[in-house]
Structure 1
Amino acid sequence: MEKREVSVVVESFMSEIKDSLAGGDNVYLRGFGSFVIKQRAEKLARNISKNTTIIVPQRSVPVFKASKEFKDIVKNTSKK
C-alpha cells in the first residue's frame, strides 16, 4: 500500500472511533485496548490570578486503557 492509502485508512479508522465515542459508545480492540468515556466529577478549583474559587463542572473525557496483552508486549520489548 502507498503511504497516501495507509493515511486514508488510518484517518477513517480514527474518525470512526471519534464518532463512536461522541455517540456514547465504547470501542474495544481485542489485544490492543479500549477507548472509553469516563465522567469527571464536578470539583472546586482556584483561580490564582484573581484569588477566587471556581467550580469546574462535571464533564466527559475520552480515556484509552491498554490491554494486558499489549502491556506485556511493550514491557518485554528490549530497549535499543
Structure 2
Amino acid sequence: MTKAEVILAISRKTGLEKEDIRIIIDGLVSVVQDSVVADQRVHFSGFGSFFRKKRAKKIGRNISTNTAIVVEEHYIPAFKPSKFFMAKIKASS
C-alpha cells in the first residue's frame, strides 16, 4: 500500500479531506523520525514501537574485490510490533 492509498483509505473512513490527512501523515512521520533520531522510543498502544537499534562493529566483505572491510558501529531504525498486533497477524493466516 502506498502513501497515496493510505491517505485515500483514511479519507474514505473518516470523511476528512485528503489534503488534511496528507498533512497529518507527513507530520506524524516527521515526529517519529525526529524522535527516533533523538533516541526516544515512539510507542503506539496496540500497534508497536519505533526505536533506534545499535549495530556492533563487524568485519564485512567487498565481494567485487574479495577484500575484508570494517563496518563501524552504527544505529538503524527499528520497529517492534505489539503483542496485540502480532496476535492479529497470526490469526489472519
Q: TM-score, normalization: structure 1?
A: 0.89
- List gaps (5 residues or longer) in structure 2: 1-15
The C-alpha deviation readout for 1:23-73, integer Å capped at 9, x for no partner, is 111111111100011100011011121121100011001100000001112
Identity %: 40
**Quick one: which amino acid aligns to residue 2 of structure 1?**
E
Point out the structure with the larger strand share. Answer: 1
- List gaps (5 residues or longer) in structure 1: none
Equivalent residue number for residue 74 of structure 2? 59
Equivalent residue number for residue 27 of structure 1? 42
How many aligned residue pairs are there?
78
Q: Tell me how large the CA RMSD over aligned residues is.
A: 1.1
1:47, 1:75 → 2: CA distance?
A: 38
Higher relative contact order (CA 8 A, sep 6+): 1
Point out the structure with the larger helix share. Answer: 2
2:20, 2:89 → 1: CA distance?
A: 27
Q: TM-score, normalization: structure 2?
A: 0.78
